[in-house]
Amino acid sequence: MKFKLLALALIVFLLLTATLHSINSRVIVAPDFPTVSNVNKMEEIVIEIPVGATGSQVASLLFSSGIVKSSAAFFRVAVGDKKSERISPGAHRLTVGISAKQALEQLLDPTRIPNLLKIFEGAWKSEVIEMLRANGFSQTEIDGAFKDATLPKGFTSAEGLLFPAQYSFAQGTTALEAVQAMINRFTSEKSGQDLLAATSRYTPLELLTIASIVQAEGDTKDFANVARVVFNRLKIPMPLQMDSTVHYIKKVRGQIFLSTSSTLINSPYNTYKNIGLPPTPIGNPGADAMRAVLNPSVGDWLFFITVAPGDTRFTSSNSEFLSWKRLYEKNRKAGAFK
C-alpha cells in the first residue's frame, strides 16, 4: 500500500513538472520569423505608430500588420533593448515577415521613415519652421498652425514646447496636425509632464525657459550645475548674463565671441540688460535639460565658464571666474574652440 502511494505521488509530481515546463516553454519561446539576410525583394508596407504608443501597442500593431509572427516576440526583444525607447511616432516603412529583432532595427532606421523631420535638442522655433517649409508646408499654413495650436495652460508661445525627436507625417497631414503632434509629444513625455506639474516658486513656463537656457549653455554632464547657477542668480537677483540669450536674438550658434555691442542690444531676451528670465524659452530643450532644472545640483555657484572644450568650471568667486575667463580667451585665440 505504501509503495502504491509513493508511486502515485511520483506520477502526480511528474505530471505537474511536465505541465509547468509546458507553460514556461510557451512563455519563454514566442513564435518568431527567422532572420532574413536580404529583404530587398520582400513585401514592404508603411505603418503608423501613434504618439504615446506603449511597447505592447507597438507589438500588437506589428503583429496585426504581418510584420512579426507574434506580438510577444517583439515585446520581448523591445523590453531587452533600451534603444527601443527611441522609436518615434509617425510613419515607418517595414518589411513583412521578418524577425522581431529585424523589426526593431527597421523601426530605428531613419532611412525607413518617410518625410522625416528631426528636431534636435535646443532647436529654435524658427528652425522648426524652416524644417516644416522643407517638408512642403507653406508659410501661410505654418503661421496658421502656430496660431491655432493648443498649448498647455500658462503658455502663449510654442517655443520650448516642440519636443526634440524624429517625426514622420503621413501624406495629407496638415501643418496644424504636425505642430500639434510636437506639442503633444512634449505633454506625453515624462519630463514634460513633470515640468508642467511642478510646484515651486517658478511657473512651468519659467522652468521651461530655464531648461532652454541650460540646454544652450552647457554639455549634458554640466546641465544640473548650470541650472543651479541660474537659480542662484535669480534668487539674488543678479542679471543672468547668458550669451545664449543674445545668440537667440541674433540667431547665431556655436562658440561665438560676444562683443560688448551685442550685450547692449535692446531686447527683452537680452539677459545682460535685463534682470530675470526672457519672456519665453530660447529654444526647445530635451528631456535631460528639463530633468536638470527639476533636480539641480547643490552649490553656491554664481559663475561658470567653459575654458576649453569639455572643461566647464563653476565658482562663487568673481576673481576666480575672471582668472578662468583669461584662460578661456587665451585658448580661444589659440583656436581651441574651432
DSSP state of 148: H
DSSP state of 317: -
Quick: pLDDT tens for 176-186: 999 999 999 99
Give residue limits of the domains in the chain. Answer: 44-112, 116-191, 200-333
**Sign of the dihedral defined by the CA atoms of residues 35, 40, 46, 49, in that order:** positive
Cell of 64: 496585426
Distances (CA, A) of 201 to 107, 134, 205, 211, 308: 41, 40, 12, 15, 35
pLDDT of 205 > 70? The answer is yes
Quick: pLDDT tens for 145-155: 999 999 999 99
Percent of the chain with pLDDT over 70: 91
CATH number 3.40.228.10 given to 44-112: no
Q: Assign 16 a pLDDT band (cuts: 50, 70, 90).
A: very low
For residue 302, the model assigns a pLDDT of 98
Q: Measured between alpha carbons, how far apart are the two ends of the chain, in Å?
A: 91
In order, the DSSP letters of 155-188 are: -S--TTTS--SEEE--TT--HHHHHHHHHHHHHH
Least confidently predicted of 8-22, 64-78, 175-189, 287-301: 8-22
Quick: pLDDT tens for 82-101: 999 889 888 899 999 999 99
For residue 178, the model assigns a pLDDT of 95
Least confidently predicted of 49-53, 58-62, 210-214: 49-53
Model-wide pTM > 0.85: no
